[in-house]
Structure formats: structure tokens, C-alpha cells
Amino acid sequence: MSENIYDGLGQLGSSSAAPTSPEEAILEYVANPRPNSDYLVRFTCPEFTSLCPVTGQPDFAHLVLDYVPDAKLVESKSLKLFFQSFRNHAAFHEDCTVGIAERLVAEMKPKWLRFGGYWYPRGGIPIDVFFQSGTKPASVWVPDQDVAPYRGRG
């Protein structure tokens, strides 16, 4: 009988309140069921929000996470709750985007990770922030993130 890869997950299958901060959020991981294959995992979060650290006004982004797992996969509900923990978190776009990617790399230790933060305009200027760890394995197909650049009304 194989080991249950869901053992030890506290958030999956239970009622979980949104964490009040990214530091409080718990990212959970499961064993990669295909550790001998290189493949891409993609998560998109088209309605990410955080707060401007200067004005306190909400900032909005479309996030795209691409990674090639090694031993672990990030559990999707915990990732969703982690993203949700930024709703009342005041930080610049660069800090949110790079901080999320660095935490995932540190904890999950993927073979490769690419993270795109496509932020909606603040002060009339959209800010897009990108992070990548290492070199993508040559055998993995990685499609474009396909988030159109912000065009406004024209």
C-alpha cells in the first residue's frame, strides 16, 4: 500500500480562515508523484490584491507561477490562502512579487521557477515584475504566460 501523500496537510479538506499576513500563511506541500519526469506546473491568480504602502489604496495584479517540481508540489489551497493573505499587506509591487517567488523557491526547492506579476497601473503607470530561479530544464515545454501588456483604453 502506498503512502498517502495528503497526510500532514492541515488546510486541505477543512475550513480554513484566510491568514491575516503573508508571514502567518502556511504553504503546504505534497510529494511529487512523478519525480523522475520533468514537467511544468502553472498557477494563475488573475485577481491578486495587496495595499499600496504609501496611500493604503488597493493594488491589483494578475500573477502567473510556472515551475518544474523536484521532490515537492505546492498544495493549491494553501497557495490560494497565501495569495489571499496579501489583501491587507502593504508592500510595493516588487516586494510582493519577488517575496512570493523567493518563499516558494526556499520552501519547495523546485528545479526551476518563473513568476510574473502583471500589475495594473498605479499613478498611470503599470508595473510588471518578473522573477526566475536558475535555468529552465531543456526538455520542458514552457508556454508564454500570455498576459497582455496593459493598454488602457487605446
Out of 45, 59, 66, 96, the active site residue is 59
Catalytic option among 38, 52, 95, 128: 52
What are the CB-based long-range contacts (under 8 Å, 24+) for 92-96? 92/53, 93/59, 93/61, 93/117, 93/119, 93/122, 93/127, 93/129, 94/127, 94/129, 96/50, 96/61
Is residue 52 part of the annotated active site? The answer reads yes
Q: Is 128 a catalytic residue?
A: no
Cell 491578486 sits on residue: 48
Residue 117 CA to residue 98 CA, distance in Å, equals 9
Please list the active-site residues: 52, 59
